[in-house]
Chains A and B, each alone.
Chain A
Amino acid sequence: MAQRGRVKEALWGYAFIAPTGLGIAIFYLWPVLQTAYFSLTEWGAFGGHTWTGLDNYRRLASDPEVGRSLVNTLTYTGLGLVSIPLAIGFAVLLNRKGMRFVGLYRTLFFLPVITMPVAIAMVWRWLYNGDYGLINYLLSLIGIDGPNWVADPATALYALVVVGVWASVGYNLIIFLAGLQAIPKEYYEAAEIDGAGPARQFFHVTLPLLSPTAFFVSVVSVIGSLQLFDLVYVMAGSGAAARANPAFPRLQTVVQLFYDRAFVTNDRGYAAAIVMMLLLLIVVLTAVQFRFQKRWVHYA
């Protein structure tokens, strides 16, 4: 009797998650399988494809643009992690007792998150302009002749990282604030009684208890950075304008390369192979993070 009751309960459970499950299957799993299949084919410009086996993957291995866009994407992802300590720092400051205008600061930090990425990119592009931009104007006041930030191969990628970090700090900060507020006050009281100053409290109470949040944020940001597209698409220009940008080789990301192959040069099978490679990369990097979380993540 009890057995049957459990089965019945499980059936109800499955019935309730069925709509979501179906949605995921249709809109996520099926496209993934389709893409995997397409990556083994070559496409005509207007549909119709022929089976080519692993040809696209062989091409991937020897395509300098693939290597270059991988390096760019990984560099961007790595540097983008700076956003995490920054967000923790700001979150701790905003979480202080008696802090005034907290609401205002939170809004200011969160504003970039709800702003359209295209709008952000356009404003930054103007700020970065080599001849008329605000940044170089300010630098000129102290006698520095600034570069063409997004058109100079030496600075372009870093200029992009700055915008990326600036745009993501707010989102991460909100999550860290939630994490901070979930830490019981008693721990701090106990630490204080034991004679721990603010610095010790931060490193021995706050940080360890915040590590599960940091882990979540790190997994999410890495995945997000690997999929970088819109910022580059707008800031580096698109189509011919992007290719005519001397910094383009330093800015091209994997998703941008995918876009070019799929929609500009009509090379859809190859484009599918490129995103399959990206999928693999995301899986591997996420798995590595899960593998290493035991070393530094403390679940209270």
Chain B
Amino acid sequence: MSKRLSAVLIGTLLAVSACSGGDGGKTAAADPNAKVTLSYGVWDANQKPVMESLAAEFTKTHPNISVQVQLTPWADYWTKLKAAATGGAAPDVFWMNGPNFQLYASNKVITPMPGEADLSVYPKPLTELYTFEGKPYGLPKDMDTVGVWYNKALFDAKKVPYPKDDWTWADFKDTVAKLTDPAKGVYGTAAQLGSFQEYQYDTIAQAGGYVISPDGKKSGYDDPKTIAGLTFWTDLIRNKQSPDLKTMTDTTPLQLFEAGKIAMYWGGSWNVSEFSANAYTKGKVDVAPLPRGEKQATVIHGVANVVSTKTEHPDQAWEFVKYLGSKEAAEILGKKGPIPAYNGTQTAWVQAHPELKLQTFLDSVSYAVPFPVSKNTAAWNEAELTHLTKAWTGEVSTEKAATDLAQAMNALLAKE
């Protein structure tokens, strides 16, 4: 063999071995001065500009790291992310929510936080939501709680006083009765079925019941107190103080509220931008805390930033997540986006709309309960709807629907 030929062969071999295994990428990542671009997956088009300005701020202090914000609309976000994660192509950093978190953590798609982080600056139910097997997996970015949005014009027309901060279930039902006006097609409220965070989960907690046991192994739907939290809504439909399920399927409660057909809408802090932009609700609505049942409660939820296990730049990715969870980033977020999760930075958010009692949403954090989740939340979320639809239409009693649901949910939990 000639020398030249063997040199070519060796050269080729070296080149091949350098290509395989991705060693090249790792060496580059180890160099702290190398330029890297992180991909950042988000689902909210309204928040994309804020996220982009946060990314730009981050690059100012970390000139070697640039961040590309990738928007996938909510409807496709999880389907697409699941496919990308399966193929090892998830974004380096992305938004995570409660119902999906444990699925991603337990399958090692996302990685626990390295080192020590100060989690005391965020509301406890939120950091608990993103802790799996004792380890935190990300930093909360924002938060939301639920309140009663009410139409002041409809209250005024019937001369009903606006809800007080310390009102109870009895007060709520009383107000609903006064505001319901079948002749005008106006209902006191709407017992929405599809959105548990704003409806069933809150009343279940208020009645002293629970959706899932703290260890995530048992359904709470057969608990009489949980059933009381569901009956709260089914009674309203039976009394014709809420539209029936067929009507709410054709026209969503949100649309009905924005058409002046519903006096009180249980909605989240995220509805602020919706109601202050909508031509009908603008200037006509305000918000009150959720009424008190056996106890006072609202579900708290918030989005967290997490890091993909497959990222080629874990150090830079965590650096970015820490920045997003910082006080500085929270202050920027609060001016243009949702309520920042960082304690003490929420004032900017409240001040953005002085005409609304937004402080209500912050005050409720003190008695908020975490969003009920388990490893495969999606599976029993489907069961919740399949069984509860029958209670909502009146096909079976609420007790029976709830007991059947508990059985189905327990079977699903046993498989996790």
Question: Hey, which bits of chain A sit against chain B, CB under 8 A?
Answer: 44-47, 128-133, 147-148, 150-152, 237-241, 243-248, 260, 263-266
The residue from A44, A148, A239, A260 contacting B250, defined by CB atoms under 8 A apart? A148
28 A-B residue pairs with Cβ-Cβ distance under 8 Å, sorted by A, are: A46-B86, A47-B86, A129-B250, A130-B250, A131-B247, A132-B251, A148-B247, A148-B249, A148-B250, A151-B247, A151-B249, A237-B249, A238-B75, A240-B381, A241-B194, A241-B252, A243-B194, A243-B385, A244-B194, A244-B392, A246-B389, A246-B392, A260-B382, A263-B79, A264-B382, A265-B378, A265-B379, A266-B82
Q: Return the CB mask of B140-183 against A: 1 if under 8 Å, else 0.
A: 00000000000000000000000000000000000000000000
Q: Return the CB mask of B377-413 against A: 1 if under 8 Å, else 0.
A: 0110110011001001100000000000000000000
Q: Assess the B246–A130 pair: CB atoms within 8 A.
A: yes
Q: Assess the A244–B85 pair: CB atoms within 8 A.
A: no
- Is B126 located at the chain interface by the 8 A CB criterion? no
- Bound together, the chains give a CA A239 to CA B386 distance in angstroms of 11
- Is B27 located at the chain interface by the 8 A CB criterion? no
Q: Of all chain A residues, which has the CB nearest B381?
A: A240
Nearest-Cβ distance from residue A257 to partner chain B, whole angstroms: 11
Q: Assess the A244–B245 pair: CB atoms within 8 A.
A: yes
Nearest-Cβ distance from residue A226 to partner chain B, whole angstroms: 23
- State the interface size on chain B (CB cutoff 8 A): 29
Q: Assess the B107–A45 pair: CB atoms within 8 A.
A: yes
Q: Assess the A45–B103 pair: CB atoms within 8 A.
A: yes
Q: Assess the A243–B246 pair: CB atoms within 8 A.
A: no
- Bound together, the chains give a CA A241 to CA B248 distance in angstroms of 10
Q: Assess the A45–B376 pair: CB atoms within 8 A.
A: yes
Q: Assess the A243–B382 pair: CB atoms within 8 A.
A: yes
Nearest-Cβ distance from residue A149 to partner chain B, whole angstroms: 8
Set of chain A residues within 8 Å of B79, measured between Cβ atoms? 263
Nearest-Cβ distance from residue A155 to partner chain B, whole angstroms: 10
The 4 nearest A-B residue pairs measured at CB: A243-B385, A151-B249, A244-B194, A148-B246
Q: Assess the A46–B109 pair: CB atoms within 8 A.
A: yes
Nearest-Cβ distance from residue B267 to partner chain A, whole angstroms: 16
- Bound together, the chains give a CA A263 to CA B195 distance in angstroms of 20
Interface residues of B in 217-265 (CB under 8 A from A): 245-252
Q: Assess the B82–A46 pair: CB atoms within 8 A.
A: yes
Q: Assess the A240–B194 pair: CB atoms within 8 A.
A: yes
- Is B193 located at the chain interface by the 8 A CB criterion? yes
Set of chain B residues within 8 Å of A243, measured between Cβ atoms? 194, 382, 385-386, 389
- Bound together, the chains give a CA A266 to CA B378 distance in angstroms of 9
Nearest-Cβ distance from residue A175 to partner chain B, whole angstroms: 35
Q: Assess the B250–A151 pair: CB atoms within 8 A.
A: yes
Interface residues of B in 274-295 (CB under 8 A from A): none
Set of chain A residues within 8 Å of B247, measured between Cβ atoms? 130-131, 148, 151
Q: Return the CB mask of B90-109 against A: 1 if under 8 Å, else 0.
A: 00000000000001000101
- Bound together, the chains give a CA A291 to CA B68 distance in angstroms of 59
10 additional contacts (CB under 8 A) given A46-B85, A243-B389, A246-B246? A130-B246, A148-B250, A150-B249, A151-B250, A241-B194, A241-B249, A245-B389, A246-B392, A260-B382, A265-B378
Nearest-Cβ distance from residue A256 to partner chain B, whole angstroms: 13
Q: Return the CB mask of B188-215 against A: 1 if under 8 Å, else 0.
A: 0000011100000000000000000000
- Bound together, the chains give a CA A130 to CA B107 distance in angstroms of 44
Q: Of all chain A residues, which has the CB nearest B375?
A: A45
Set of chain B residues within 8 Å of A47, measured between Cβ atoms? 86
Q: Assess the B251–A131 pair: CB atoms within 8 A.
A: yes
Nearest-Cβ distance from residue B252 to partner chain A, whole angstroms: 8
- Bound together, the chains give a CA A133 to CA B385 distance in angstroms of 26
- Bound together, the chains give a CA A100 to CA B400 distance in angstroms of 63
Q: Assess the A150–B385 pair: CB atoms within 8 A.
A: no
Set of chain B residues within 8 Å of A246, measured between Cβ atoms? 245-246, 249, 389, 392-393
- Bound together, the chains give a CA A243 to CA B193 distance in angstroms of 9
Q: Assess the B107–A244 pair: CB atoms within 8 A.
A: no
Q: Which of A47, A128, A243 has the most CB of B within 10 A?
A: A243
Q: Assess the B246–A151 pair: CB atoms within 8 A.
A: yes
